C-alpha cells in the first residue's frame, strides 16, 4: 500500500490499515530499539507504546517525510529516553553510527539536524573501503536499491554484489571498533 494512503487511512481510524502497519514495522522497530536498550521486553513495550500513540493521535500527526521515518524516529527517541533512565548517554552517537552502517535500517530514521555530523562520520568510515565496494554499499544501504538493481547499475553479477556487500560489512565492523577507540584513546 502506498505510504501516504496508509497515513490517510490511519487518520480515518482504519484499524485494518493500522494492523497492517503494525505487522510490517513491529519486528524491525523492536530490533532497532534493541540496539539501544539491549532489553527486548523494554523495546517491545516502547514500540507498542509508539504505535498506540500514533493511533490515538493520528488526526494531529504532522508527518513531513514518511510514516516509516516517523516511527523509527519516535522509537529512537523513546529508546534514548530509556538509556537516560539507566543513566547512560551516547553523546558521540556511536549507536546511531553503528546502526547506520551495519543494519538494514537504512536512511529510514534519518531526520534530524544533528544527523548531518553523524552521516559525515559514517562517510569517513566508508572512505576506508575500496571504491567499488563503497558504491555498492551506498546503493544498497543508503539508497535502498535491490541486489538486482545494483547489479544492473554497476554492470556486475548479482553474486558479485552480494559478496562485495558481505565484505563491506566485515570491514565496517572493524572500522567501527577503531572508531569506538577514536573517542577514548
Q: Which stretch binds another protein (CB under 8 A): 25-33, 115-123, 131-139, 156-164?
A: 25-33
Q: How far apart, in whole angstroms, are the C-alpha atoms of residue 179 and residue 161?
A: 26
Residue 44 found at the interface with another protein (CB under 8 A) = yes
> Which CB, 21 or 133, lies closer to another protein?
21
What residues numbered 84-123 form the site for another protein, per CB under 8 A? Answer: 86-92, 94-95, 102-103
- Among the listed residues 8, 112, 123, 152, the single contact to another protein using CB under 8 A: 8
Q: Please, what sign has the CA dihedral across residues 20, 79, 58, 141?
A: negative
CB 66 within 8 A of CB 10: no
Q: How far apart, in whole angstroms, are the C-alpha atoms of residue 65 and residue 108?
A: 10
> Which CB, 51 or 151, lies closer to another protein?
51
- Among the listed residues 6, 51, 145, 172, the single contact to another protein using CB under 8 A: 51
- What are the grid coordinates assigned to 141, written together? 544501504
CB 43 within 8 A of CB 81: no
CB 55 within 8 A of CB 44: no
Q: Which residues bind another protein (CB under 8 A)?
A: 8-9, 11-16, 19, 22-23, 26-27, 30-31, 34, 37-40, 44, 47-48, 51-52, 55-56, 59, 83, 86-92, 94-95, 102-103, 173, 177, 180-181, 183-184
Amino acid at each position: 500500500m502506498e505510504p501516504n494512503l496508509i497515513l490517510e487511512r490511519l487518520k480515518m481510524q482504519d484499524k485494518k490499515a493500522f494492523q497492517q502497519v503494525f505487522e510490517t514495522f513491529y519486528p524491525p522497530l523492536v530490533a532497532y530499539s534493541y540496539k539501544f536498550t539491549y532489553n527486548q521486553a523494554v523495546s517491545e513495550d516502547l514500540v507498542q507504546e509508539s504505535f498506540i500513540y500514533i493511533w490515538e493521535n493520528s488526526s494531529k500527526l504532522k508527518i513531513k517525510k514518511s510514516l516509516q521515518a516517523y516511527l523509527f524516529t519516535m522509537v529512537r527517541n523513546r529508546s534514548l529516553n530509556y538509556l537516560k533512565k539507566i543513566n547512560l548517554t551516547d553523546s558521540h552517537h556511536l549507536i546511531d553510527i553503528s546502526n547506520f552502517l551495519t543494519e538494514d535500517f537504512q536512511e529510514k530514521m534519518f531526520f534530524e539536524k544533528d544527523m548531518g555530523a553523524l552521516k559525515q562520520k559514517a562517510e569517513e568510515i566508508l572512505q576506508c573501503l575500496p571504491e567499488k565496494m563503497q558504491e555498492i554499499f551506498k546503493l544498497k544501504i543508503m539508497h535502498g536499491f535491490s541486489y538486482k538493481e545494483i547489479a544492473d547499475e554497476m554492470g556486475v553479477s548479482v553474486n558479485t554484489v552480494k559478496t562485495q556487500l558481505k565484505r563491506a560489512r566485515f570491514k565496517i565492523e572493524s572500522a567501527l571498533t577503531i572508531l569506538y577507540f577514536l573517542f577514548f584513546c
